[in-house]
Amino acid sequence: MSFLKIDLRTAMVTAAIGTSMLLTGCGSSSSHDSTVDMRTYEVSVSNVTPNQPFSPIAVILHTSGYQAWVDGESASTALEVLAEQGDNSDVLSDASDHSAYLTSDSGAGVIAPGTYESVQLEVDAQNGVSLSVISMLVNTNDAYTGINATSLAALESGESVSYSAPVWDAGTESNTEAAGTIPGPADGGEGFNASRSDSSDRVRFHSGIVSSQDGLSSSVLTADHRFDNPAAVITVTRLD
């Protein structure tokens, strides 16, 4: 009987050691999971122009290495489509194929002057997070506004930061302001055209609207369509 007691005690000790090792293994897995740094950002885009509706916004979170455009270089075809037609689907698709891509979202619709739209995105931020936002000024030939590869690394939980977004010229279509060339409500003309009519073919700051009231008699735009910089205020809030 004494041998039976010893064997039972030995079995109990062995089982306890096995359970302890199993729990230790679970603790190691939990420690590995803690390297995930999930964060939620709210991105709000306010249209501060007097009469330039914004196309649905493209909002992209990514690590370093991705840029939606480069000042002084040719726009991508995806950016051309957005800047001439207001369609952000190609920009979002191209971004999702990039190695630096984390996540993205599209705005629900047009942002009228004096209004704003907000989207929320959740992302694993362990390798850093940068933000790009793009939207067309639809009463133009190929003007857009936004921010490009802006780091959010310094933004703490509960904090907000605002960016003033200027107007860019995609350099893909001449700024003729002519009837039939502008897709917005001021004209209802053509959107994207694969043929690039701007001889510079490079992204740069936009020189502004001329309008029919300011000497360009063939323009379908009026002084109401002019804009100052910034065209948009983009506010980012880290929710957690």
Domain boundaries, the chain: 38-238
Note the pLDDT tens digit of each residue in 45-83: 999 999 999 999 999 999 999 999 999 999 999 999 999
DSSP assignment letter at 214? G
pLDDT, mean over the chain: 90
pTM attached to this predicted model? 0.85
Alpha-carbon gap, residue 166 to 168, rounded angstroms: 7
| Domain covering 38-238 in this structure, CATH number | 2.60.40.2130
Which pLDDT does position 35 carry in this prediction?
A: 86
Where are the strands (E) in 69-223, listed by range?
101-106, 116-124, 130-136, 143-151, 160-165, 167-169, 204-205
Do 152 and 129 meet the contact criterion of CB atoms below 8 Å apart?
A: yes
Note the pLDDT tens digit of each residue in 110-160: 999 999 999 999 999 999 999 999 999 999 999 999 999 999 999 999 999
Alpha-carbon gap, residue 132 to 61, rounded angstroms: 7
CB atoms within 10 A of CB 184: 22
Number of separate helices (H) and strands (E) present in the chain:
3, 10
